[in-house]
Amino acid sequence: MSNKKINIRDLSIDDIDNIIISLEEKAFRSKQIIDWIWNKGIDSFDKMKNIPAKILNNLKENYCINQIKIIQHQKSTDGTEKFLFESVDNFFFEGVLIKSKNRITACISTQIGCALACKFCESGKNGFERNLSIGEIFDQILLMNKQCVENNTKISNIVIMGMGEPLLNYDNVINFINHITSKYSYGFSPARITLSTVGIVPQIKKIADNNLKINMAISLHTVNNNKRNLIMPINKKYNLEQLKEAIKYYYKKTGNRITYEYLMLKNINDSLSDAIALAEFTKISPCKINIIEYNEVSDCLYKQAEKEKLNIFYEYLFSKNLIVNIRKSKGTDINAACGQLAKKNK
């Protein structure tokens, strides 16, 4: 039998509760442990000053506290900050702080690399290594928020839009959300968390069934199956018809408005006919549309759509009374913008 200790930061809230139950201790002790591990972010069990010796000895015997570390911190001219993280097993992944007038948004990763190989995205160019654990996902918030606190600010919003497909690391992502929103941890409002997916149909329905109170964004980019097959291979497994049914199911179950992310690629999905088709697609449920300016990545044939076409596209959608925004790219000078995150040690 292996004597390898388990990283306590990779346990769910239920797992912590079960430790306390097994020790026949009072239930509030699990809440204290959660506060120390995930809220205060301690790196040693000895720092748990209000935990009885019996519990501490059990924790020390069976568990460890592993944390990722920041090995590079870059700042953009527009205020965006990018962090290169290293795991305890020497893998690398990135997270970003995006600053605007009234908020600081943390964009976090859920996988090291990505298996989906969307043709416009840097994250999948070197393949997939592994899923990030609950603790590794949470640590990105912990470490980036420490940087904010040093500047008398704090993270106000979280977008799960960094490296990887969150719904292919479903259990760890959901447990991270449970931790970050727990009143014994950060107490973060689910309404300030947005999860972005390319459209993993079964998991979208699973989120709907679980009535998870976060925001859902779909990386759509086109409503033409042939075009989507070309730029997003996942469409061959879950095509637009299947995705449409999943979105209908999600809205019926939750009543939540979907956000569509639409990356504008020159001469690929930027025509007026593309806008007309998109407007028709979005009739399935209330929604918001974010038009995204493309950020070119290495060895990619695609180019940024012309401003005139982008504006025509926007004006048509706006004329149909749709909620639509043009999302300006931030952090492009440090490769921190949408689609530019990678798993390399730079």
Using alpha carbons, list the distances in angstroms from residue 20 to 33, 52, 55, 60, 265.
Answer: 10, 12, 8, 14, 53
94 is catalytic: yes
**Which amino acid type is present at position 7?**
N
Show the beta-strand stretches assigned E in 132-231. Answer: 157-160, 193-197, 215-219
300 is catalytic: no
DSSP 89-115: TS-EEEEEEEE-SS-EEEE--SEEE-S
**Do 158 and 192 meet the contact criterion of CB atoms below 8 Å apart?**
yes
- H helix or E strand, kind and range, residue 63: strand 63-64
Strands 215-219 and 193-197: parallel
How far apart are the C-alpha atoms of 240 and 228, rounded to whole Å?
9
Burial of 158 (0-12, 13-18, 19+ CB in 10 A): buried
Tokens of 204: 């979208």
Tokens of 310: 């982008």
Dihedral, 148, 9, 18, 180 alpha carbons, nearest 10? 30
Catalytic residue among 81, 94, 122, 165: 94
Tokens of 78: 């527009």
Catalytic residue among 114, 118, 121, 338: 338
Using alpha carbons, list the distances in angstroms from residue 133 to 95, 176, 205, 237, 281.
Answer: 15, 9, 23, 26, 35
DSSP 8-state assignment for residue 306: P
Name the residues annotated as catalytic. Answer: 94, 338
